[in-house]
Amino acid sequence: MPQESAVYTHGHHESVLRSHTWRTAANSAGYLLDSLKPHMRVLDIGCGPGTITADLAALVPDGQVTGLERAPEVLDQARATAAARGADNARFVVGDVHALDFPDDTFCVVHAHQVLQHVGDPVQALREMRRVTRPGGIVAVRDSDYSAMTWYPEVPGMADWRQLYLRVARANGGEPDAGRRLHAWARQAGFAPEAITATTGTWCYRTPEERSWWSELWADRTVSSSYARIAVDGGHATPADLRRIAEAWRAWGAEEDGWFGILHGEILCRV
């Protein structure tokens, strides 16, 4: 079976987990929630620190949620999150979405949030997600789209941030504009067009607290995370470039009229 060939651009630096632990089922999987039933078995791919996983476990109290993550080092935090919330129907395993270690027809729902933008073969990933989903079940995927992100005001350096991120992510083997491609990838993976429901969702950061949080985590990520190392080692930027972009993030965050919008593509695929 194919295995992961892409490098995870973000890594698990504290600035990355600061963002990931903010995510909930409500703000990141709202398009799926009406489809959940108390008895369901759910697979949460790319679970990271487990905040969405624990939420999903609470929504299927008579079922079970399995959080799967390629990076084992973050699963201790995921287990602690589930334990703190009393989610004893959640478990966590290491695995690769390209070659899932589960039999056919295992889960009622297979969910992946911000995963396919980082993998080497998103179509193969969707094939595997479909394989382990029971007939009548759902594959649910949500990914952001970096070229569709927009902000105000146009602080010098912010456009450089996006162009750099696009270069680094694609050099790592991923596709940062995954959101717009999800429905097409699903068709290539074998889902019938009439089985695919495609929607969009957004995040918006505008209040002083939201701007401070979002700008600081990206400023820190730009100079301190594995993304920074990959950008420099790959010849995409110098340390001085990264420091300048980090300051652009802080300048945007200080703007009284600052606003940042993130578009996501979403698909619900019936098996």
pLDDT per residue as tens, the chain (271 positions): 565 556 666 666 676 677 788 899 999 999 999 999 999 999 999 999 999 999 999 999 999 999 999 988 889 999 999 999 999 999 999 999 999 999 999 999 999 999 999 999 999 999 999 999 999 999 999 999 999 999 999 999 999 999 999 999 999 999 999 999 999 999 999 999 999 999 999 999 999 999 999 999 999 999 988 899 999 999 999 999 999 999 999 999 999 999 999 999 999 999 9
**pLDDT value, residue 225:** 87
Cα(132)–Cα(139) distance, integer angstroms? 10
Q: What is the pTM of this model?
A: 0.94
Q: Is 250 helix (H, G, I), strand (E, B) or coil?
A: helix
**pLDDT value, residue 192:** 97
Torsion of CA 21, 149, 189, 11, to 10 degrees: -40
Measured from the Cβ of residue 237, the count of other Cβ atoms closer than 10 Å reads 20
Torsions phi, psi of 36, nearest 5? -80, 140
DSSP secondary structure of 19-41: HHTT--HHHHSHHHHTT--TT-E
